[in-house]
């Protein structure tokens, strides 16, 4: 049985970003923060691919990549690095994705995995999923937000929060609901943190149109239609 895609990293933000992209593309994800756990899972569960964070020297990723290379029938391996490195290619890395990480390089790597899999082993990729409200469009499959034809730049966390609002725009979502939608269950998040990120989302959207995020005092947030001129 395939274990899906294994991710080896100690960077929570990188993991959440990769998890979102992979699950959107239909790939199950498993985090391995211990090298022995990663090697054992590769040997016993035949993962579809392995993503290794080589940007953190504390993880000693090069030595781990040598161990992966020595495994018979090893899965495809992608490395995330701070800069291009010839050494990584010699360690059995199939593709190196350098910072700032471009999701298109990861998607091309995933497409190669799908192409090489037998039909009955391919993950079920969802059809393109799009949510629209007023003049805002969220393409979940492509992880892209546009407003009035302009690309809106959001972090992975902010994308998840806006998506939660877009799915039910006329519902007032409490801060606790938004925490559940945006952060992993074990995260300790203050209510004020939600306000800060909603503020970032509001400013990003307001670059290309009037404010559509409605603040409900002491409760949470919802989406309105297009605001009348002069609204702050």
What is the domain partition of the chain in residue ranges? 5-121, 130-223
Model confidence over 7-64: pLDDT tens digits? 988 888 888 888 888 887 778 888 887 888 888 888 887 788 889 888 877 767 778 8
Binned at pLDDT 50, 70 and 90, residue 178 comes out as very high
Model confidence over 183-208: pLDDT tens digits? 888 888 899 999 999 999 999 999 99
The pLDDT of residue 210 is 92
For the domain 5-121, what is the CATH code?
Answer: 3.40.50.2300
Angstrom distance (rounded) from CA 97 to CA 232: 41
Q: One fold for both 5-121 and 130-223? A: no
Q: Which of 172, 174, 179, 180 minimizes the C-alpha distance to 214?
A: 172
Q: Across 143-227, where does the E strand assignment appear?
A: 144-147, 150-151, 173-174, 213-216, 220-223
Answer whether the bond into residue 98 is a cis peptide, omega within 30°. no
125 within 8 A of 114, measured Cβ to Cβ: yes
Model confidence over 122-135: pLDDT tens digits? 444 445 688 999 89
**Residue 146 token pair:** 């546009």
The pLDDT of residue 130 is 87
Model confidence over 203-223: pLDDT tens digits? 999 999 999 999 998 889 999
Domain 130-223, CATH among 1.20.120.330, 2.60.40.2130, 1.10.10.10, 2.30.30.140: 1.10.10.10
The pLDDT of residue 119 is 47
Q: Read off the pLDDT of each residue in 163-172 and give the average, rounded to a whole number.
A: 89
């Amino acid at each position: 049985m395939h274990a899906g895609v294994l991710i080896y990293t100690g960077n929570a933000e990188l993991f959440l970003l990769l998890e979102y992209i992979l699950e959107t593309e239909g790939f199950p994800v498993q985090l391995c923060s211990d090298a022995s756990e990663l090697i054992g899972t590769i040997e016993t569960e035949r993962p579809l691919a392995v993503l290794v964070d080589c940007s953190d020297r504390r993880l000693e990723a090069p030595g781990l990549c040598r161990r992966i290379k020595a495994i018979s029938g090893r899965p495809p391996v992608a490395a995330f690095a701070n800069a291009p490195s010839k050494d990584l290619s010699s360690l059995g890395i199939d593709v190196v994705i350098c910072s700032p990480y471009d999701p298109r390089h990861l998607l091309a790597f995933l497409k190669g995995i799908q192409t090489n899999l037998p039909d009955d082993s391919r993950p079920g990729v969802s059809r393109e999923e799009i949510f629209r409200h007023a003049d805002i469009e969220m393409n979940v499959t492509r992880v892209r937000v546009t407003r009035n034809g302009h690309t809106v730049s959001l972090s992975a966390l902010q994308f998840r929060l806006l998506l939660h609002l877009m799915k039910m725009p006329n519902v007032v979502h409490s801060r606790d609901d938004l925490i559940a939608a945006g952060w992993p269950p074990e995260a300790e998040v203050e209510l004020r943190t939600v306000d800060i990120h909603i503020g970032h989302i509001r400013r990003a959207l307001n670059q290309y149109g009037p404010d559509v995020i409605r603040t409900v005092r002491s409760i949470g947030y919802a989406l309105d239609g297009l605001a009348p001129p002069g609204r702050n």
